[in-house]
Amino acid sequence: MSSSLGTLFRISTWGESHGPGVGVVIDGCPPRIPLTVEDIQAELDRRRPGQSKIVTPRKEDDKAEILSGVLDGLTLGTPIGILVRNTDQRPSAYTEMQQAYRPSHADYTYDAKYGIRAVSGGGRSSARETIGRVAAGAIARKVLQQTLGGYECLAYVKTVQNIEATVPAAAELTSALIESNIVRTCDPVAAEKMIELIEKIRTEGNSVGGIIECVVRGVPPGLGEPVFDKLEADLAKAMMSLPASKGFEIGSGFGGTTLTGLQHNDEFYMDGDKVRTRTNRSGGIQGGISNGEEIVFRVAFKPTATVLREQKTVTNTHEDTTLAARGRHDPCVLPRAVPMVEAMVHLVLADHFLRQRSQMG
């Protein structure tokens, strides 16, 4: 289904950006997992507009309501419904878009597919759809924290356009470090430059992209499936389903194609009674299955398609025209994409954890 993800920890998101609300239903969540609305709200707050000067100033509170599946702070094992009402609906700000297809948006392809479209606010193709993902991800994370001892997932902005962050040693790479700056990068010096660039780009009515890197710790060996549902394949799908993503690579990635096998292979060694690898070009996954090392991958995000400068395009009645977007948009999606990337990791891993437990006991 287009709007469902997962085999056992299964989520279904719904909602248009300027309709009554957006939300998600999570089916298959284990029972008796501690869960409060604050667990969910904390992640939504990292995702929401208006949180800093470098993201869209749209005022969207994005308050979550748990509609089902939780009682007295514990999950019931039944479907968890979550609703976030839409509040900041300003259809008037988008009038021209009813006619003109925004370049590199989904306006034209939605019309081509469905023959109908919720024009206002981007409808279903709006990034508001990710609210359901982030809310569900917060629940998946609770499941993983409860069942896998030291589970931790840290995404951070690696590059904005040509500015690259230096990644510190593992011990210093913490959530606190990443959240210490509004870009959500792991390098405070680069953070300053990135903020400066994003602010400049915004004043120009332009936009920039970049790369998010993600490190996942505490995943035991054995998660994943060996053929089509390889762990890296499901992560790739999850990341490539995020708005504006254009690429995914794990471990050595594209750069690894210039090494030889002897250079690239990760030698095994015994670390006490634990099988470890000296290097991690595999990115924590071999043959589709986790090997107990850190899972490390990167996702490329294109520059935001919405720019406040005139561009050529066509109308929905197939006339050539021009369009300059108005309204309030993110000049760079990456700071808000960090919690989205993490949410997708939680969802994929919770699903694979349940799959592993199902078959292997």
Residues 119-138 that bind a copy of itself (CB under 8 A): 123-125, 129
Query: Using an 8 Å Cβ cutoff, are 139 and 36 in contact?
Result: no
Q: Which of residues 141-160 bind a copy of itself (CB under 8 A)?
A: 147, 159
| C-alpha distance from residue 294 to each of 151, 250, 283 (Å) | 11, 11, 7
Among the candidate windows 37-45, 50-58, 188-196, 209-217, which touches a copy of itself by CB under 8 A? 209-217
Q: How far apart are CA 21 and CA 1, in angstroms?
A: 21
| Contact status: 356 vs a copy of itself (CB under 8 A) | yes
CB of 349 to a copy of itself, least distance (A): 14
Three-point CA angle 337, 64, 245, nearest 5°: 15
* Lookup: tokens for 345: 């990791």
Name which of 12 and 185 has its Cβ closer to a copy of itself: 12
174 or 237: whose CB is closer to a copy of itself? 237
User: Going residue by residue from 32 to 71, which x/- string records binding to a copy of itself, judged by CB under 8 A?
Assistant: x--------------------------------xxxxx-x
Q: If residue 341 lies in a helix (H) or strand (E), which one and from where to where?
A: helix 334-360
252 counts as binding a copy of itself under rule CB under 8 A: yes
Q: Which of 73, 189, 263, 324 binds a copy of itself (CB under 8 A)?
A: 263
Contacts of 39 (CB under 8 A, 6+ apart): 138, 139, 142
List 15, 121, 137, 335, residue binding a copy of itself (CB under 8 A):
15
- Does position 106 interact with a copy of itself (CB under 8 A)? The reply is yes
Query: Cβ(345)–Cβ(215) under 8 Å?
Result: no
91 is in an annotated binding site: no
Select the span of 36-44, 87-95, 184-192, 275-283 touching a copy of itself (CB under 8 A).
275-283
Q: Does 265 contact a copy of itself by CB under 8 A?
A: yes
Rule CB under 8 A: choose which of 306, 336, 339, 350 binds a copy of itself: 306
* Range in contact with a copy of itself (rule: CB under 8 A) among 45-53, 89-97, 167-175, 254-262: 254-262
Any known ligand binding at 170? no
Type of residue found at 58: R
Decide: 110 and 129 in contact? Cβ < 8 Å. Answer: no
Residue 1 contacts a copy of itself per CB under 8 A: yes
Does residue 218 belong to the site contacting a copy of itself (CB under 8 A)?
no
Closest by Cα among 242, 184, 189, 190 to 213: 184
| Residue partners of 212: CB distance under 8 A and separation at least 6 | 155, 156, 157, 158, 298, 299, 301, 334, 337, 338, 341
In terms of CB distance, is 174 or 289 closer to a copy of itself? 289
Of residues 292, 335, 305, the one with CA closest to residue 122:
305
**By CB under 8 A, residue 354 contacts a copy of itself:** yes
Q: Which residues line the annotated binding site for NADP(+)?
A: 47, 53
